[in-house]
């Protein structure tokens, strides 16, 4: 074979390799959910927001655009975008980002992230689902994260923030810290990006606790009452199903006198059961119990006092019976007073359901009152 023929064949081989699609498939790439930030990286006062990784519903698939559409065919990758929102603020502590976002895209090799960084504004806008015409202004930061780092000040979205986009080997990563345009917001973004880069450098399995935010509202120092609850899990009582804590809503500080300080929902799948606990300032509930409202709604009282708690169960007809005619109650509500807090418990689950839930009885509510206990204060301090 002549030298000319060898050169032609070598050139053809290089061209074929360049044109060939990447051999890696999505299953071969790193799990991107292990490369993003987790709740312990943010602090004890953040809740989980939207997430575009792992199992997604069809609704989410329709709502969220594809992450990097023009790079999909050229560079196979797997991506994950996750958001965190600040649940509450503590008096006297440094201001933190209102919300944060973290993204990671695992490619077959470094060519994919390098190509993405050739048009960083468009890529960042697509990841954040922001307006491509948004105000992505280059920002100079004195930091080294990964192999190549770009920084931007993002206006709008709906609040401004600092965006860091970087490449670490075959991973493209992004961190957003949303807050007022200041050096503090930029420093917060750098702290979060450094934490994410540590996860990229040394991936660890994603544990359920890493994205478990159900108790975050209960750590709010502005609740103003001790947290009385049934725990995270309540074993079945008297043949009734066990209960799990499903959701927690914190206080609505706009109407502190009219709204509970916290609302906890417990549930069980089999049979489908819901129990709602609300935490109140004791004075408000006492005034209700001694006011004319209960007589107006034909309330009937059942004693339910237990060790450590003064309690009563109220029964109401629905609809109201003329003259408060006697009969079994249609709606039941338990009220218990523990030191510093009043707890209301409802176990109907559905006022229009034909069958009562297993705890929707005087005996069932009494069992729940006996199971109440005060939650220990959070141990994790809120630091900068």
Alpha-carbon distances, residue 5 vs 70, 75, 80 (angstroms): 37, 32, 48
Alpha-carbon distances, residue 322 vs 291, 302, 314, 326, 351 (angstroms): 21, 21, 19, 10, 21
Is the separation of the CB atoms in 76 and 107 below 8 Å? yes
Which residue has better confidence, 354 or 2? 354
Q: What is the pLDDT of residues 38-68, one digit of tens each?
A: 999 998 899 998 888 744 444 334 333 455 5
Work out the average pLDDT over 137-150. 94
Residue 52's pLDDT is 80
Residue 153's pLDDT is 92
Q: What is the pLDDT of residues 205-250, one digit of tens each?
A: 999 999 999 999 999 988 999 999 999 999 999 899 999 999 999 8
DSSP 72: H
Work out the average pLDDT over 307-336. 85
In residues, how long is the chain? 384
Work out the average pLDDT over 361-382. 85
Residue 20's pLDDT is 33
Residue 61's pLDDT is 40
Identify the CA nearest to 180 among candidates 156, 160, 164.
160
For the chain, the C-alpha Rg in angstroms (whole number) is: 28
CATH class of 15-211: alpha beta
* For residue 136, pLDDT beyond 50: yes
- Alpha-carbon distance 4 to 11, whole Å? 11
132: pLDDT confidence band, cut at 50, 70 and 90?
A: low
Residue 375's pLDDT is 95
Tokens describing residue 290:
């001694």
H or E segment to which residue 208 belongs: none
Share of the chain above pLDDT 90, in %: 54
328: pLDDT confidence band, cut at 50, 70 and 90?
A: confident
Q: What is the pLDDT of residues 145-185, one digit of tens each?
A: 999 999 999 987 778 899 999 999 999 999 999 987 778 89
Query: What backbone torsions phi and psi does residue 233 show, to the nearest 5 degrees?
Result: -130, 135
Q: What is the pLDDT of residues 250-262, one digit of tens each?
A: 887 666 667 899 9
Work out the average pLDDT over 261-289. 92
Which residue has better confidence, 70 or 102? 102
* For residue 5, pLDDT beyond 60: no
Q: Specify the residue for token string 């509500």.
A: 333
Residues 59-64: contacts with CB within 8 Å, 24+ apart? 64/129
Q: What is the pLDDT of residues 110-130, one digit of tens each?
A: 999 999 999 899 889 888 888
β-partners of residue 166 are: 149, 173
β-partners of residue 162 are: 153, 177
133: pLDDT confidence band, cut at 50, 70 and 90?
A: low
Q: What is the mean pLDDT of the chain?
A: 83
Residue 335's SS3 state is strand
- pTM across the whole model: 0.82
Query: What backbone torsions phi and psi does residue 297 show, to the nearest 5 degrees?
Result: -100, 20
Residue 317's SS3 state is coil
Query: What backbone torsions phi and psi does residue 10 show, to the nearest 5 degrees?
Result: -65, -40
Residue 341's pLDDT is 95
Residue 150's SS3 state is strand
Alpha-carbon distances, residue 270 vs 266, 310, 357 (angstroms): 13, 31, 11
Residue 14's pLDDT is 27
Which residue has better confidence, 220 or 76? 220
Residue 55's pLDDT is 40
Residue 45's pLDDT is 92
H or E segment to which residue 172 belongs: strand 171-178
CB count within 10 Å of CB 122 equals 14
H or E segment to which residue 299 belongs: none
The widest CA-to-CA distance across the chain, in whole angstroms, is 112
* For residue 1, pLDDT beyond 80: no
CB count within 10 Å of CB 370 equals 16
Identify the CA nearest to 347 among candidates 369, 327, 328.
369
What are the residue ranges spanned by the domains of the chain? 15-211, 216-374
* For residue 90, pLDDT beyond 60: yes
Residue 327's pLDDT is 79
318: pLDDT confidence band, cut at 50, 70 and 90?
A: confident
**What is the per-residue DSSP string for 221-248?**
TTS-S--EE--SEE---TTPPPEEEEEE
Residue 12's pLDDT is 28
Residue 267's pLDDT is 93
Alpha-carbon distances, residue 258 vs 252, 261, 284 (angstroms): 9, 9, 9
In the chain, count of helices (H) and strands (E)? 10, 17
């Amino acid at each position: 074979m002549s030298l000319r023929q060898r050169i032609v064949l070598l050139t053809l081989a290089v061209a074929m390799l360049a044109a060939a699609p990447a051999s890696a498939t999505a299953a071969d790439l790193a799990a991107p959910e292990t490369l993003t930030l987790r709740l312990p990286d943010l602090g004890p006062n953040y809740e989980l927001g939207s997430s575009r990784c792992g199992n997604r519903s069809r609704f989410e698939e329709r709502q969220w655009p594809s992450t990097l559409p023009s790079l999909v065919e050229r560079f196979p990758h797997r991506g994950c975008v996750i958001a965190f929102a600040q649940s509450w603020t503590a008096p006297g502590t440094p201001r933190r980002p209102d919300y944060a976002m973290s993204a990671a895209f695992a490619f077959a090799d470094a060519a994919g992230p390098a190509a993405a960084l050739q048009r960083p504004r468009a890529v960042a806008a697509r990841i954040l689902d922001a307006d491509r015409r948004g105000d992505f202004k280059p920002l100079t930061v004195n930091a080294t994260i990964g192999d190549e780092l770009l920084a931007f000040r993002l206006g709008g979205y709906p609040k401004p923030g600092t965006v860091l986009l970087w490449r670490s080997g075959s991973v493209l990563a992004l961190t957003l810290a949303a807050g007022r345009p200041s050096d503090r917001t930029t420093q917060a973004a750098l702290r979060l990006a450094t934490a994410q880069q540590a996860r990229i450098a040394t991936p660890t399995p994603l544990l359920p606790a890493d994205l478990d935010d159900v108790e975050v509202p209960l750590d709010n120092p502005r609740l103003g009452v001790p947290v009385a609850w049934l725990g995270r899990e309540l074993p079945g009582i008297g043949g009734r199903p066990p209960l799990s804590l499903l959701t927690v809503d914190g206080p609505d500080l706009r109407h502190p006198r009219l709204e509970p300080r916290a609302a906890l929902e417990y549930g069980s799948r089999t049979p489908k059961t819901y129990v709602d606990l609300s935490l109140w300032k004791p004075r408000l509930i006492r005034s209700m119990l001694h006011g004319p409202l209960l007589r107006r709604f034909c309330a009937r009282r059942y004693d339910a006092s237990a060790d450590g708690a003064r309690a009563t169960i109220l029964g109401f007809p629905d609809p109201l019976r003329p003259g408060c005619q006697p009969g079994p109650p249609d709606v039941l509500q338990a009220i218990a007073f523990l030191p510093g807090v009043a707890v209301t418990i409802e176990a109907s689950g559905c006022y229009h359901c034909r069958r009562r839930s297993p705890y929707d009885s005087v005996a069932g509510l009494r069992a729940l009152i006996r199971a109440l206990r005060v939650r220990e204060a959070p141990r994790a301090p809120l630091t900068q």
